[in-house]
């Protein structure tokens, strides 16, 4: 039975409320039957109700007037359903100039890791099953050997992220006792990870030594008591102390700790597994170096310079790692099979370091030749100029990328980008640039740049899919502003 035709006339505002069809009437429309098939009766019925409620409200407020004929309803309903079905988590173009952008998901996984994750999702795995003995296994064992091979550590374990790695290490080795750390290393990372808070949360007493800019060996020696359980060194990953400074290096600190019968834990933060200096990038301390310098436990992130999934790696001496693995927090912070699959595949790439700059996206982007980025900027600029329209000027220019995620904060990488400026600069310039930035973010694959120096800046170091970027530009909807 088909519904009677709906009135599509549009008249004065009070009258129109009556013209809105009932939910029942809409549900009987043939166009809606098609949507039932595609998306299910419950979901579509809910969307019909919500749509009619929205329209009713809009009309009460005297806002826009909608065609209430069958075609108008079907179109509005389809658009609404399509937008509801778009996943909330979606790909974006990160053109911010920050390669490892925490808010945009940090490292992009290598293809090998993506394949491994898909496989681990599709079928049962030997996650905690020893295939030799047929007995229960240990999930850490899947990557432990590889991590040890690459870092030179005796033992390793993996948790949810580096914040958990630090928390677990401190809780397992020093609960109810004292941990000595330099005042120059009480870092805050991203607002919610602050070393003093982590210490408190782990149930240890933090003993700060030295000053903000200078800490000496004797400060540590003097602070050791019968209650000390751990000496801690934190890599100042997102800031630099410059000028009249002094810090105690790892080797010295290891000597002091070991002299007192204590372990030294080093939180590296990023912890690159390769020496970045070989690519002309600034050197970032490696876990190999920290261990060779005498550190007993080293923690670092999986999704920073390592270029893998979100994870926290804890490597070091068997004795301490064993204690850490047995702590109840380890179970609470353990990683999933998806993380382990991605991590194993990413780490395996390090066995062939010569290919890292092509196969590991993080290193590929960080080492991308400037001429290539520059050529890319020139190539996409005309399409961008057409899309943003005559009110904006689009020019290529030099920009500076940063590694991000607290790695090497003061070292910038020369890059190329596009500057979009208002042709008529004046009072509304900032607002118009923000409107443009919002329009770019509203594209099907949102484009994220940054507004600085009266320009919207897109750093092209991290643009790899030029065709997809250019293809969606004609859909850019920049409201022309009266000026």
What is the contact surface with ligand PLP in residues (CB under 6 A)? Answer: 161-163, 166, 187, 189, 193, 234-235, 237, 267, 269-270, 301, 312, 405-406
Nearer to ligand PLP, 59 or 304 (CB): 304
CA-to-CA distance for 429 and 393, rounded, in angstroms?
Answer: 12
171 close to 205: Cβ distance less than 8 angstroms: no
Q: How far is the CB of 158 from ligand PLP (least distance, A)?
A: 12
> Of the candidates 182, 179, 261, which has an alpha carbon nearest to the alpha carbon of residue 217?
182
Nearer to ligand PLP, 51 or 187 (CB): 187
CB neighbours of residue 55 within 10 Å = 21
Q: How far is the CB of 184 from ligand PLP (least distance, A)?
A: 13
Q: How far is the CB of 189 from ligand PLP (least distance, A)?
A: 5
Q: How far is the CB of 162 from ligand PLP (least distance, A)?
A: 3
- DSSP for 268-327 reads EET--SS-GGGGTSPP---HHHHHHTT-SEEEEESSSTT-SSS-EEEEE-HHHHHHHHHS
- DSSP for 383-452 reads HHHHHH-TTEEEEEEEEEEB-BTTBSTT--EEEEEEEEEESS-STTHHHHHHHHHHHHHTSSS-EE-EEE
Strand pairing report for 297-301 and 312-316: antiparallel
445 close to 464: Cβ distance less than 8 angstroms: no
Q: How far is the CB of 304 from ligand PLP (least distance, A)?
A: 6
Q: How far is CA 233 from CA 47, 237, 248, 264, 356, in A?
A: 55, 12, 9, 8, 29
> Of the candidates 436, 449, 447, which has an alpha carbon nearest to the alpha carbon of residue 481?
436
CA-to-CA distance for 322 and 304, rounded, in angstroms?
Answer: 25
Nearer to ligand PLP, 314 or 384 (CB): 314
Token pair, residue 184, equals 């120059």
Nearer to ligand PLP, 234 or 394 (CB): 234
CA-to-CA distance for 189 and 53, rounded, in angstroms?
Answer: 45
Nearer to ligand PLP, 196 or 430 (CB): 196
Nearer to ligand PLP, 103 or 225 (CB): 103
CA-to-CA distance for 296 and 11, rounded, in angstroms?
Answer: 79
Nearer to ligand PLP, 110 or 309 (CB): 309
456: left (phi over 0), alpha (psi -120 to 50) or beta: beta
Q: How far is the CB of 67 from ligand PLP (least distance, A)?
A: 51
Q: How far is the CB of 248 from ligand PLP (least distance, A)?
A: 17
Q: How far is the CB of 170 from ligand PLP (least distance, A)?
A: 12
Q: How far is the CB of 102 from ligand PLP (least distance, A)?
A: 7
Nearer to ligand PLP, 166 or 380 (CB): 166
Longest dimension (CA), the chain: 91
Nearer to ligand PLP, 105 or 294 (CB): 105
């Amino acid at each position: 039975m088909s519904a009677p035709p709906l009135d599509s006339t549009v008249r004065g505002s009070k009258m129109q409320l009556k013209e809105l069809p009932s939910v029942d009437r809409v549900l009987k429309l043939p166009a809606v039957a098609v949507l039932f098939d595609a998306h299910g009766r419950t979901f579509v019925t809910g969307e019909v109700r919500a749509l009619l409620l929205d329209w009713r409200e809009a009309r009460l407020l005297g806002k826009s007037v909608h065609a209430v004929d069958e075609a108008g309803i079907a179109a509005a309903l389809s658009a609404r359903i399509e937008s509801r079905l778009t996943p909330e988590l979606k790909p974006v173009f990160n053109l911010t100039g920050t390669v490892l952008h925490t808010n945009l998901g940090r490292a992009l996984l290598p293809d090998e890791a993506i394949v491994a994750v898909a496989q681990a999702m599709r079928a049962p795995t030997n996650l905690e099953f020893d295939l030799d003995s047929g007995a229960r296994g240990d999930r850490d064992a899947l990557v432990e050997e590889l991590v040890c091979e690459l870092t030179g550590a005796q033992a390793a374990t993996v948790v949810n992220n580096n914040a958990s790695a630090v928390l677990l290490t401190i809780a397992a080795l020093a609960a109810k006792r004292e941990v000595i750390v330099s005042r120059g290393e009480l870092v805050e990372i991203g607002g919610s990870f602050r070393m003093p808070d982590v210490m408190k949360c782990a149930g240890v007493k933090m003993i700060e030594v030295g000053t903000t800019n200078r800490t000496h060996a004797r400060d540590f020696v003097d602070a050791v008591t019968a209650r000390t359980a751990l000496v801690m060194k934190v890599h100042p990953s997102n800031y630099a102390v410059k000028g009249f400074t002094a810090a105690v290096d790892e080797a010295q600190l290891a000597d002091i700790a070991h002299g007192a019968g204590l372990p030294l834990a080093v939180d590296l933060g990023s912890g690159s597994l390769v020496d970045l200096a070989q690519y002309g990038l600034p050197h970032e301390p490696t876990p190999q170096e920290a261990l060779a310098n005498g550190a007993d436990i080293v923690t670092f992130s999986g999704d920073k310079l390592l270029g893998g999934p979100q994870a926290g790696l804890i490597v070091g001496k068997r004795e301490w790692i064993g204690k850490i693995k047995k702590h109840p927090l380890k179970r609470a912070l353990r990683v999933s099979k998806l993380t382990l699959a991605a991590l194993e595949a990413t780490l395996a790439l390090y066995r062939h370091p010569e290919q890292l700059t092509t196969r590991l996206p993080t290193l590929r982007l960080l080492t991308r030749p400037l001429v290539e980025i520059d050529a890319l900027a020139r190539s996409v600029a005309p399409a961008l100029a057409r899309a943003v329209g005559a009110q904006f000027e689009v020019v290529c220019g030099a920009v500076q990328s940063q590694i991000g995620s607290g790695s090497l904060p003061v070292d910038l990488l020369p890059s190329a980008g596009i500057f979009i400026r208002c042709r008529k600069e004046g009072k509304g310039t900032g607002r118009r640039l923000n409107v443009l930035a919002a329009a770019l973010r509203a594209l099907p694959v949102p484009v994220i740049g940054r507004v600085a120096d009266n320009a919207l800046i897109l750093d092209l170091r991290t643009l790899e899919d030029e065709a997809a970027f250019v293809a969606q530009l004609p859909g850019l909807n920049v409201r022309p502003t009266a000026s």
